[in-house]
Amino acid sequence: MGRKEEPMIAYYNDPGHFADLMNGWIYRGEKKLTAEQIQETDSRYTTETNRKYRTRYRDIAKRVKNIRVVLVVGTEIQSYVDYSMPVRGMDYDAVEYKRQISIIKNRRKSKKATKLSMSPLAKEDRLIPAITLVLYMGEEPWDAADNLHEILDFSNVTDEWKEYIQNYKVHVLDICHTPDERLMEFPNDIASMFLFIKYAKNKKKLAELVHSSLGFSELENDTVSTLLNYVEDPQVLKIKKTWETKGGKIDMRSALGEIYEDGVAIGEKRGEERGITIGEKRGVAIGEKRGITIGKEYGISSMLELLQELGYCEDDAKFHLKNKFQLSEQAADRYIKKYWDRK
């Protein structure tokens, strides 16, 4: 089976999308990079264990050229928290530097340099700086260490020794736990993508966003395709089928608005049907009056369960509950306290 992140990896391997990602991440929305400034570089890295070599690949590896500096940027796309990331990132960058040293060494050999040296680098040689960025799209907060020292055991290490132990920082963009204002600094397609992922299970919030100033109606086809193939949600699957049926043409704003309205209707109907059914069945055994009470109780609990599954917040769920079952504020609060799962 392929990795969940594959649609995203393919999307950001495109030079234009990668440039947009860097413009939002590094330059906070300023358009300083274009697709023409993004170059391919070797994404392979080889590790050795017991004289056995294994070749693996970075998710994304690009060479970025602008006016002042050339960087090799490696971007790792994660859907889970990797607590070894400081070591992993350090290893990625070290392998990149080793690769550059090997290239310089082989170039010198090809020139048949007369001066022999034990060092693979000459004094005047310089390496291209390498950085690793982690794009994290998981639901749980990224709570891993953001530097190497945080995962080292210093309990028996004095300060005199600690200052000689090298550190290594991890650069993570945690999509689902980054403020909306920061995500909106990215170009339209990427900002829309990030916010879609962040609120994929909160249909009401998603509906509010797509009806705001964001350009959900103007997304490029490959952006829509990537989103629909990445987000695992039954309602999103409906949009995907519609999108495929219409040959890749769909108004995301309208489609997401319909999902929200459908969710409200489904929640109310399912809660009502479950309540009536249980009320009827149990009412036969314990009396019509008690049957109605149980039916109402089960209907309320079922409706709250479904609204929570659809990503509603407590206040919105209470609003729909009061309207559907004609409850007072105190009664609605009592049912929320009883049935709303706050884990």
What is the per-residue pLDDT across 117-165, written as a single tens digit (0 to 9) for each? 678 888 888 898 888 888 898 888 999 999 999 999 999 999 999 999 9
* Residue 24: pLDDT over 90: yes
Q: How confident is the model at residue 26 (pLDDT cuts 50, 70, 90)?
A: very high
Instruction: Provide the 10 A C-beta neighbour count for residue 327.
Output: 17
Mean pLDDT of the chain: 77
What is the chain's alpha carbon radius of gyration, rounded to the nearest angstrom? 27
Distance in angstroms (rounded) separating the CA atoms of residues 19 and 22: 5
Per-residue model confidence (pLDDT) at position 196: 85
**Would you give the DSSP letter of residue 165?**
S
* Residue 42: pLDDT over 80: no
Sign of CA dihedral 164, 165, 171, 176: negative
Say if residues 306 and 266 touch (Cβ distance below 8 Å). yes
Per-residue model confidence (pLDDT) at position 174: 93
Per mean pLDDT, which range of 45-49, 64-68, 287-291 is the poorest?
287-291
CB crowding 216-237: b at 16 or more within 10 Å, else e: beebeebbbbbbbbbbebebbe
* Residue 188: pLDDT over 80: yes
Q: How confident is the model at residue 333 (pLDDT cuts 50, 70, 90)?
A: confident
Sheet containing 38-40: give its strands across: 38-40, 60-65, 70-78, 130-136, 171-174
